[in-house]
A and B are shown apart, each in its own frame.
Chain A
Amino acid sequence: MPITVSMTVNGKAVTGEIEPRTLLVQFIRENLKLTGTHVGCDTSQCGACVVHIDGTSVKSCTTLAVQVDGADVHTIESLADGDTLHPMQEAFRENHGLQCGFCTPGMVMSAVDLVKENPDPSEQEIREWLEGNLCRCTGYHNIVKSIKAGAAAMRG
């Protein structure tokens, strides 16, 4: 039986009639047409689907949309301000922190959450934090470099 969910996504109030089994990532991509959030493994291992729920990073492929009814959700689309990239996005661009780019939205969302908790993470702390984000191009070296630079830029 379809049920109604309402939440704030990227600052905008949204509502949808969905089946309870709808995953948050499906709701974001298919109902809201925000396709920056990716589905990689669909088994909560790769982290391409990371979004922020009430300020913390979670895997939207392992969360039901109904579980976040009333929550404040932010996706990768919320980071840039028009044509001005978020400092973390800019750092990924500057440091070539991507190869094919598929994992990048999740990497960036995960990195932004890390810096909120730990404004000046060491390389080791960054690598540990990326436990749940996989890059199948194995471009970790530049991703870690990007996050280090992005953290510095976010500190200002």
Chain B
Amino acid sequence: MYEFEYQKPSSLSEAASAIKSADDGSLLAGGQTLLPTMKQRLASPSDLVDLSGVPGLSGISVVDGNVVIGAMTTHAAVAASADVKSNIAGLAKLAGCIGDPQVRHRGTIGGSIANNDPAADYPGACLGLGATIVTNNREISADDFFVGLFETALDDGEIITAVRFPIPEKSDYSKFAQPASRFSLVGAFVAKTSNGARVAITGAGQAGVFRVPAMESALNGDFSAASVGSISLPSDDLNSDIHGSADYRAHLVTVMAKRAVDGCG
């Protein structure tokens, strides 16, 4: 790991100015992706601005039909939260199958979605539930947030403070995990919301998480596993690597979507 300057601001505005004035700074949340990346020298930020000293960025609350999760809330906290389990079962399940227990104790929701790894789990929940990403400057709808491979709508130095998930009627997440890393080879998040069904697929797409409109309209007609079972995706824009070909991933999309619909109960 190359050298860097470490800063631990104690307020959001201090954090914003620290990251702005840094040469080539990175925000540090749980560090479960950033630190391994830095150890491999794939990233070499001049400054790390640690958000763990900023008050108010952790915690889960239920406000006006939404579950609001602070950006620095760990995966373990989301998985164990009674509020999340009772209101958005699919989200609690998803958080509980990220990485391994030790990673879940440090990794955060804000860090995960800011990174937008195409095989990460949380982007699936954000898009599948139609979440709103709250930053220090504005609110961004999940539909606009995930722009591409490791790319988001965040401006340089913009800091995610919370994610607001509208409570759906029901939801579930079904994941085919890459056997070594436990990242999703394909993960399907399905939700039945007051505005209709949503289906988001992570792990499969070359440009990261995406929705499947054909499956959503089928589910709006008949919310059953059978209605998505006959819909298969073209494999053109899907990832292909040593873990699975694009055709295999396309097949998994349908299987995982069916399981997630079933899992909604």
Tell me the smallest distance from the CB of B145 to a CB of chain A, in Å: 26
B65 at the binding interface (Cβ < 8 Å): no
Whether A131 pairs with B39 at a CB distance below 8 angstroms is no
A42 at the binding interface (Cβ < 8 Å): yes
B1 at the binding interface (Cβ < 8 Å): yes
Q: Which residue from A1, A3, A43, A133 sits with its C-beta under 8 Å from B36?
A: A43
1/0 per residue, CB under 8 A from A, across B93-122: the answer is: 000000111110110000000000000000
Whether B31 pairs with A62 at a CB distance below 8 angstroms is yes
Whether B99 pairs with A63 at a CB distance below 8 angstroms is no
Whether B3 pairs with A132 at a CB distance below 8 angstroms is no
Q: How far is the CA of A43 from the CA of B36 in the complex (A)?
A: 6
B71 at the binding interface (Cβ < 8 Å): no
Q: Which residue from B5, B31, B76, B103 sits with its C-beta under 8 Å from A67?
A: B31
A interface bracket (residues with beta carbon within 8 Å of B): 20 to 34
B interface bracket (residues with beta carbon within 8 Å of A): 20 to 34
Q: What does DSSP make chain B's interface, helix, strand, loop or mixed?
A: mixed
Across-interface contacts of B52 in A (CB, < 8 A): 67
Q: How far is the CA of A21 from the CA of B28 in the complex (A)?
A: 13
Whether B36 pairs with A21 at a CB distance below 8 angstroms is no
B152 at the binding interface (Cβ < 8 Å): no
Given contacts A43-B39, A44-B36, A62-B31, A110 and B102 within 8 Å (CB-CB): yes
B4 at the binding interface (Cβ < 8 Å): yes
B50 at the binding interface (Cβ < 8 Å): yes
Whether B35 pairs with A63 at a CB distance below 8 angstroms is yes
Given contacts A44-B32, A56-B76, A20 and B100 within 8 Å (CB-CB): no
Q: How far is the CA of A1 from the CA of B6 in the complex (A)?
A: 9
Across-interface contacts of B1 in A (CB, < 8 A): 21
1/0 per residue, CB under 8 A from A, across B15-47: the answer is: 000000000000010011001101100000000
Across-interface contacts of B28 in A (CB, < 8 A): 67
Q: How far is the CA of A69 from the CA of B53 in the complex (A)?
A: 11
Across-interface contacts of A56 in B (CB, < 8 A): 76, 105
B-to-A contact residues, CB < 8 Å: 1-6, 8, 28, 31-32, 35-36, 38-39, 48, 50, 52, 76, 99-103, 105-106, 180-182
Task: List 14 other contacts, CB 8 Å, given A44-B32, A110-B101, A110-B102.
Answer: A20-B5, A21-B2, A21-B38, A43-B36, A57-B101, A58-B105, A62-B32, A62-B36, A64-B6, A69-B8, A131-B99, A131-B100, A132-B99, A132-B103
